[in-house]
Amino acid sequence: MADETKVPAVLQGAFFVLQAVGEAGPAGANVAEVQVRTGLGQRTTYRHLASLKALGMVTEASERSRYRLGPVIAGLAQNTSDQLEFLRRARMFCEELAERSGEPVHVTVCDQGTAVTVATASRSSPVSEKSPPIVPGSRRPLHASASGKVFIAYNRSALEAYSVRPLQRFTQYTITDVRELERECLRVRQQGFAQDRQEYSLGITCVAVPVVGVGGRAVGALTVSTKRPVMSEARRAELLRALRPAAKEFSAAIGGEGGA
């Protein structure tokens, strides 16, 4: 059986060339230096450099015989830095809010039509033995979770995607009618927060607020879960007094325009 994970030689060669240019530092590297670092032939090295240059992954230095990393790599590096900063902030706010609320707190992002937990913290026991655990990597359906409703409400294309497929029922409280989901999303936008009223797991209620990125898009959701079948207005208001300023600070920290 063929090894499906084997890296094609041409891709491996291009990676080695890119790595050699990157390791050369600000001064860049010429073809001969890249050859020494990679062990590739001159023609192969030239071919890889030409392809990488066309893709914007390397660029010629002021001294035309030398190559440096290009703008595409710089952009990827910035994205990596932004993602790491998002995760660092997510963990920090989870810890702070869990300490203040005494409830499990988690941060999610939207991925492939689900809300994915990227950070979590708790000062109490798990939300429920019957409920799927809230751990990094766990997923919740958008239409049946507080954080998921945040993403649908603030992303028209996500809401439109739900209009062409049946909404799965998880409990008797799950929203399964598209028009009702649209009305719910309107409420989320108007009030600036979303709720899960036992819609994914019985006995569990949640409240979530958006974390806003560049351009006003909801790039994350900050959520508190409770082991209460009904969240009182007083408790919800108390949690929102902690969630809203935290989300605003989180949003500002990642270059957003402020939370709800």
pLDDT in tens, 7-45: 788 888 888 998 888 888 777 888 998 988 889 998 999
List of residues 6+ apart from 179 with CB closer than 8 A: none
181 membership: H or E segment, kind and range: helix 178-191
List of residues 6+ apart from 228 with CB closer than 8 A: 203, 205, 235
Rounded distance between C-alpha atoms, residue 96 and residue 89, angstroms: 11
Angle between helix axes 178-191 and 146-153 (nearest 10 degrees) is 90
Q: Which residues in the chain come in under a pLDDT of 70?
A: 1-5, 62-64, 78-82, 124-133, 257-260
What per-residue confidence (pLDDT) applies to 259?
46
Read off the DSSP letter of residue 8: P
Q: What pTM did the predictor assign?
A: 0.71
Rounded distance between C-alpha atoms, residue 120 and residue 106, angstroms: 4
Torsion of CA 241, 243, 248, 251, to 10 degrees: 180
Decide: 144 and 174 in contact? Cβ < 8 Å: yes
Read off the DSSP letter of residue 230: S
Query: What are phi and psi for residue 206, nearest 5 degrees?
Result: -140, 160
Rounded distance between C-alpha atoms, residue 248 and residue 254, angstroms: 10
What per-residue confidence (pLDDT) applies to 1?
40
Nearest residue to 211 (alpha-carbon basis) of 70, 40, 97, 129:
97
* Beta pairing class for 194-197 and 205-212: antiparallel
What per-residue confidence (pLDDT) applies to 156?
81
Which pair of tokens denotes residue 172? 């008797």
Rounded distance between C-alpha atoms, residue 211 and residue 119, angstroms: 13
